[in-house]
Each structure stands twice: as structure tokens, then as C-alpha cells.
Amino acid sequence: MVKVYALSTCPWCKKVKQFLRDERIDFEVVDVDLIAGKEQEQALEEVDKLTGKRSFPITVVNNLVIQGFKPEEIKEALKSEG
């Protein structure tokens, strides 16, 4: 399972999403800036728990947290997935 926490306007977030699409990797995305209220609060709490800070993008592959656009780290994490 791959989950991406992103901001819709963030260029690095867009790169992560495009990379995953190009690699034909199924992923769930949470564009934190496009949700509101309790749902946004919950997403931000999850980000805080994962990283201790609010920087985006955050890619989670099998509980491995990757901050930023790091395609090689994502590929490595996916290898250990299957």
C-alpha cells in the first residue's frame, strides 16, 4: 500500500504523483490543502506523527516514510513490499 500526503500546489508533490503514475504504482493521495475541517485536522495529525513536521510530499510505503521527491528510495521501498 502506497499513500502520499501532498499539497495540490506543491511542485515536488506533483513530481511524486507523476512518478508513481509513470511506474504504474497504485497509490492513495491525500491533498491536505483540498480537504477541510476535521478531515484536514486528522490528515495533519497523521503527518505530524509520521514526520514530526509538516513538510510535503510524504510517501508511505509499508510503514516506511519517505520525505520529499526521492524516486530511488520509493523504488527500494517497493521492492521490499512484495
Q: Could you read off the pLDDT of 56-72 as tens digits, one per residue?
A: 999 999 889 999 999 99
Question: CATH says 2-79 is which class?
Answer: alpha beta
Q: Provide the pLDDT confidence category of residue 20 given band limits of 50, 70 and 90.
A: very high
Q: Give CA separation, 64 vs 1, 11, 54, 59, in Å.
A: 11, 22, 17, 8
pLDDT tops 60 at residue 37: yes
Domain positions in the chain: 2-79
User: CA-CA distance, 49 to 81, in Å (whole number)?
Assistant: 22
Q: Provide the pLDDT confidence category of residue 81 given band limits of 50, 70 and 90.
A: low
User: CA-CA distance, 57 to 75, in Å (whole number)?
Assistant: 16
User: CA-CA distance, 13 to 32, in Å (whole number)?
Assistant: 11
Name, in order, each residue with C-beta under 8 angstroms of 23's C-beta and a sequence gap of 6 or more: 75
